Amino acid sequence: MNTFTGDLPDTKTYSERRWFFMGLTEPAADGVLCWFSCGAPSTVAAKLTLQEYPDAKIVRIVIDTEHPDSERYATEVSAWLGKEIVNIRGKYANQYEAINSTGFIKSAFGAKCTDELKKKVRAAYQRTGDLHIFGFDAEEGDRVEDFRENHPDLMFRAPVAEAGLTKSDCKLIVERAGIQIPAMYRLGYANNNCIGCVKGGMGYWNRIRIDFPGEFARMAATERRIGATVLRHRSGPNKGERLYLDELHPEAGRFETDQPGECGALCQVALERVGLA
Ligand code: SF4
């Protein structure tokens, strides 16, 4: 891996190390959209992007079940970047509204709320020819390639990955900038997703039950209302069948390994493959 020291790579090095640029024409000055998710990698992606594209827009899709500390974080990041963060919202405020409206939580191919809360909102905002900047990190090289293969018409870059920076590197950069990392990281969560992310496993949901009992109860009630579940039995005679959160054994799963991935483009890839997006 890289020999990261805690400082931002200089722009020249960063540019020389770019993995790919789609070979299309340069985007318009205001046609660079950096998707900021209140996570450390997308924060560093924004910083790097502005070195090369000072007129880039830093865009955040706001979901009201993010940890409230995200507002503090976004404000401090905006000050560090010297740039306004553009907040946009879709027709659903959170995963519950998306689930209740569609009657669908997720399948083996992904979460419907990602489609409703992220992809459709992005699609409505973007313009043809925009260059999209995502916060993939250096440990997600295969996922970047997967995304590129599945979005041949989308011009995008992943400056954090291009610079060889991992998520841990990005957290360090954020802290060096004098910004406290988001509360969800400090609580031990891998990503600053919605609280009560449908992509989490048993161990994740048992931690949510402790840290955010209201969100646990809210999702449990949602499951019963629509007759679908976040989890399924992993073993035993009921293997593969629905496991309602209100049936989840409090010691089931492992928090460390059952955490959801970062929400965004990648689970969308799977949805598109199976025609659910
Ligand atoms: S973070 Fe989780 S709950 Fe929120 S939109 Fe993404 S998949 Fe759904």
Instruction: For residue range 34-84, list pLDDT tens digits in order.
Output: 999 999 999 999 999 999 999 999 999 999 999 999 999 999 999 999 999
* 103, burial (CB in 10 Å: exposed 0-12, middle 13-18, buried 19+): exposed
Do residues 219 and 135 share a domain? no
3-class state of residue 157 by DSSP: strand
Instruction: Return the closest-CA partner of residue 194 out of 174, 227, 219, 171.
Output: 219
Q: Where is the domain boundary, 146, 181, 216?
A: 181
Do residues 87 and 221 share a domain? no
Residue type, 123: A
Do residues 59 and 171 share a domain? yes
* 211, burial (CB in 10 Å: exposed 0-12, middle 13-18, buried 19+): middle
Do residues 167 and 223 share a domain? no
Do residues 164 and 238 share a domain? no
Instruction: Return the closest-CA partner of residue 180 out of 72, 41, 47, 36.
Output: 72
Please choose from 70, 199, 271 the residue to mutate so as to test ligand 1's pocket, defined by most ligand atoms within 8 A of CB: 199
Q: Which atom of ligand 1 is nearest to the CA of 111?
A: 7
In this structure, what CATH number is given to the domain that contains residue 61?
3.40.50.620
Show Cβ contacts of residue 273 under 8 Å, excluding neighbours closer than 6 positions. Answer: 109, 150
Do residues 111 and 241 share a domain? no
The pTM for the full model equals 0.86
Please give the pLDDT value at position 152: 78
Q: Is residue 28 part of a domain?
A: yes
Do residues 125 and 210 share a domain? no
Q: Structural domain tally of the chain?
A: 2
Do residues 169 and 224 share a domain? no
Show Cβ contacts of residue 40 under 8 Å, excluding neighbours closer than 6 positions. Answer: 167, 170, 171, 173, 174, 181, 182, 185
Q: Is residue 209 part of a domain?
A: yes
Q: Is residue 112 part of a domain?
A: yes
Give 242 Cα–ligand 1 centroid separation in angstroms. 19
Q: Is residue 126 part of a domain?
A: yes
CB atoms under 10 Å from CB of 24, counted, come to: 10
Please give the pLDDT value at position 267: 40
Q: Give the largest Cα separation in the chain, rounded.
A: 58
More confident residue, 108 or 75: 75
* Token pair for 176: 């060096």
Q: Is residue 141 part of a domain?
A: yes
Q: Is residue 221 part of a domain?
A: yes
Nearest CA to ligand 1 atom 2: 197
Please give the pLDDT value at position 45: 96
Pairing relation of β-strands 242-243 and 155-157?
A: unpaired
Do residues 210 and 150 share a domain? no
Give 199 Cα–ligand 1 centroid separation in angstroms. 7
Please give the pLDDT value at position 114: 92
Judge whether residue 8 has pLDDT over 70. no
Q: Which atom of ligand 1 is nearest to the CA of 191?
A: 1
Cα separation, 80 vs 84, whole angstroms: 10
Q: Which atom of ligand 1 is nearest to the CA of 112?
A: 8
Q: Is residue 267 part of a domain?
A: no
Instruction: Return the closest-CA partner of residue 274 out of 35, 62, 22, 104.
Output: 104
Q: Which atom of ligand 1 is nearest to the CA of 65?
A: 4
Q: Is residue 78 part of a domain?
A: yes
Expressed as residue numbers, the domain containing 124 is 11-181
pLDDT in tens, 188-215: 999 999 999 999 999 999 999 999 999 9
Show Cβ contacts of residue 213 under 8 Å, excluding neighbours closer than 6 positions. Answer: none
Task: Give the Å distances, CA to CA, from 206 to 114, 212, 218, 227, 233.
Answer: 22, 10, 14, 20, 15
Cα separation, 150 vs 115, whole angstroms: 15
Do residues 111 and 172 share a domain? yes
Do residues 53 and 160 share a domain? yes
Do residues 217 and 171 share a domain? no
Instruction: Confirm if 194 and 95 have CB atoms less than 8 A apart.
Output: yes
Which one-letter DSSP state was computed for residue 82?
Answer: T
* 261, burial (CB in 10 Å: exposed 0-12, middle 13-18, buried 19+): middle
pLDDT in tens, 216-240: 999 999 999 999 999 999 999 999 9
3-class state of residue 88 by DSSP: strand
